[in-house]
Amino acid sequence: MKKILLCALLSFFGLGLTHGQQLKPLYSKTDTLPKVVYKDLDERPLPKIEMQGRTYVGDAMRSLKPEEVQSIDVDKTRQVMLVELKPGYHPVLMSLSDIKKKYTNLKSEHVIFRIEDHFVQHDPNEVLVDESNIMLISISPIKFIGGLEDLYMVTLVPRTDKNLKKLNEIRFR
């Protein structure tokens, strides 16, 4: 099911070898100056998803239990992913702002949210995640931004097999 979900997402985003082919390489070992690229972090925004008759911001997809997703279809005319859940799965959807209020003691409004390795580029009041599938909430102060003493990064880690294995791993140094 995870492979099907990944394939559907990749095909939807149009990742293909035909886009962006170049004849001359952009980078080489002999370059002496760095290339500077300004780009928006939300270069390829997730499409909106429709689930149980309601439409949500696409970031909600990152916190769903992959094994509980029955099917994913794409409605290109409405530009929405149609997600059908298995009958017994009822995600507890909560906004990122509410997660912050409920589980952390952060009073700052200067918060950068991440779901795993993906930065959230939408309003934290609109982005809903499955509260019951969040395994870890990591809070890190960001101290290198001048003038902002109360900037934090809040990272949500969903409960997946990969994340369970990674976080339960014991490392000896």
pLDDT for the residue numbered 113: 94
pLDDT for the residue numbered 145: 67
CA quadruple 1, 84, 115, 40: dihedral, nearest 10: 100
What is the pTM assigned to this prediction? Answer: 0.70
The answer to whether the CB of 100 falls within 8 A of the CB of 154 is yes
pLDDT for the residue numbered 16: 47
Give the distance, in angstroms, between the CA of residue 40 and the centroid of all CA atoms in the same chain: 15
User: Mean pLDDT per 10-residue run, the chain (173 residues)?
Assistant: 54 51 72 80 71 85 88 89 91 93 91 90 90 92 77 91 82 70
Which letter does DSSP use for residue 113 in this model?
E
Domain ranges of the chain: 42-168
Give start and end residues of each alpha helix (H) in the chain.
Answer: 2-12, 96-103, 161-168
pLDDT for the residue numbered 82: 92
Give the distance, in angstroms, between the CA of residue 168 and the centroid of all CA atoms in the same chain: 22
pLDDT for the residue numbered 4: 59
The answer to whether the CB of 73 falls within 8 A of the CB of 136 is no
pLDDT for the residue numbered 41: 63
